[in-house]
Structure 1
Amino acid sequence: MPLSFQAPSESDYITFLWSAFEINYNKQKYQFAYFAYHMLAMGFIYFKIWQIRRERLDDFRKGVIGFSKDNENCFLHAASPFEFSKVPEGSVFRLLKLLGCDNSKVGTYGALVNDRNEMAHANGHIHVRTEEIFGYKIRNILKIAEDIQSQVEPIIEVCYQNFLLRSLDPNEREYSDLTDQIREALIHSNYLSQKDIKICFKFDIQRLKNHKKFREISTLHREILSIGFPE
């Protein structure tokens, strides 16, 4: 989950879902605990799509072609990742093709929605009765999340690279204080998670060695690493 959110209501929402997950799990209401976890997982998907849009907007514009006009406008103009929830969940996964995911993977990811939908109706069935079944479904979500996180690594690298280039001049960046700049212009605006931050930490600065301001970029990168990434 992101270390920072654009609005307190977003943070409150995630906290609420974690609480619902824990309460229902502890009371052995596994199906409701699974619902809460599934909603957290969809939030994760929306955050990744948000990152794709910010760093690869031209490709993103092409990627939303084929969606309805309303859904296309939602993807392109949403002010928050949570607004992507207006688009039918199953179709959202198509945008992960922009990460290089093939149709097979997209189908596997989308099956999460179908699985949840089978349980989300008053059909007289409790699909997740035992901790064993619950654990299997949670592990499946985590496996998918890890796979998507590995696919998004190049996006985060570009995100951090662009941040370095935008932040070189203290007089031109959004915040003169570097700690504030990291927190607000990098972590906050990109909904970066702890795993995303680890990608930034291991960024290979040598990829910018031909930049005319490579020395300044290297100095800034070292300074950021010495400060750390504030939450």
Structure 2
Amino acid sequence: MDEALELGAYLPQSLANASEQAYLDFLWSAFQTNYQSERYEFASLAFHLLYMSFVSFSIWQIRLARPDPFAMAMVGFRSDEEGSLMDCESPFKFYDRLKESQIFRFLKLIGCTNQQVGEFAKFVRRRNKIAHPTGTVFFNDRAAIDAEIADMMKEVGNIEAHMEPVILELYQRFLADRADEELWSFAVPGDEVTANLVHANYMSAADLAYCRAFDIESLRDEPGFEAKLALHQSLVALYPPDEIDDAA
């Protein structure tokens, strides 16, 4: 259970969309309730949906940071799928247009190999077996589901490690676009960070650890440094280090 709960550090710190937040809260509740009641088959299904949510948030960040390569990666899809993927207003909408296994191909844009993509996607095949009536219970005991969770968390860590350049691209773009305080959406730096960095980019605690570690002094000679510094300092204050930083 403890290792499963570590996934929370890789999911968004908070969501501006109340229905999306309620959905994640529901999945966590479903996982914990079924795990504690030893209904491990159903607990695994809930955890898989949390895992796929993490993947969809990562793909969303890739699309925001690298729209042109993302568009090129859609070559081979039907033309209507290409347009709808670029127009998705939420990471959860990706699955309205794609099969779950297809979403993993976009991880190649962050340097993941075909072999790695296959490792990330293998859980979809396992989940599909569980989600159909087979007459077999795959997770009969705690050891079995804990082993599956450990395997999934290993791949979560692998994906997050590849995401560091993407997160830093998003963060530096966020700062560059706010060199003039008059153009901020909010007068308070912390509010600007929460709304237009954390919520807009579905930033997790793990993502924000990369942002905190950014060398803000490297921007000192650029225009609007004081505004950027205020935003960075607010981020550090609002989202302090936790176990993610300790494990890095």
1:175 CA drift (Å): 1.5
Matches within 5 A, 1:37-48: 37-48=47-58
1:200 alignment counterpart:
211
**Could you tell me which residue of structure 2 aligns to residue 57 of structure 1?**
67
RMSD of aligned residue pairs (Cα, Å): 1.8
Match of 2:181, SS state, is coil
Deviation of 1:226 (Å): 5.7
TM-score by length of 1: 0.93
Check if 1:187 corresponds to 2:198. yes
The aligned amino acid for 2:173 is N
Alignment of 1:1-231 (within 5 A): 1-86=11-96, 87-208=98-219, 212-213=222-223, 215-216=225-226, 219-220=229-230, 223-224=233-234, 227-229=237-239
**Matched residue count:** 229
Provide the rounded CA distance (Å) in 1 between the counterparts of 2:164 and 2:117.
Answer: 18
Residues 1:70 and 1:40: Cα distance change in structure 2 (over 3 Å): farther
Q: Counterparts of 2:70 and 2:21 in 1: how far apart (Å)?
A: 26
Amino acid at match of 1:81: P
- Where do 4+ consecutive residues of structure 1 move more than 6 Å? none
Give the counterpart letter for 1:66 in structure 2.
G
Q: Structure 1 207/27 Cα, relative in aligned 2: closer, same or farther at 3 Å?
A: same
Measured in 2, the distance between the counterparts of 1:171 and 1:155 equals: 27
Q: What amino acid is the match of 2:147?
A: Y
- Where 2:182 maps in the other structure, the secondary structure is coil
Q: Is the 8 A contact 1:90 1:113 kept in 2?
A: yes
For 2:62 and 2:231, the matched residues in 1 are separated by 23
The 1:219/1:19 distance shift into structure 2, 3 A limit, reads closer
**1:17–1:39 CA contact under 8 A, matched in 2:** yes
Q: Can you list the C-alpha shifts for 1:109-153, whole angstroms capped at 9, x where unaligned?
A: 111101111111011111111111101110111011010000001
Measure, in 1, the Cα distance between the counterparts of 2:120 and 2:229: 41
Task: Give the TM-score, by structure 2 length.
Answer: 0.87
Distance 2:179 2:228 in 1: 10
- Mapped contact 2:193–2:235 kept (Cα < 8 A): no
Cα separation, partners in 2 of 1:187 and 1:32, compared to 1, 3 Å: same
Structure 1 residue 101 displacement after superposition: 0.3
Is contact 1:183–1:229 with CA below 8 Å preserved after alignment? no
CA deviation after TM superposition for structure 1 residue 187, in Å = 0.3
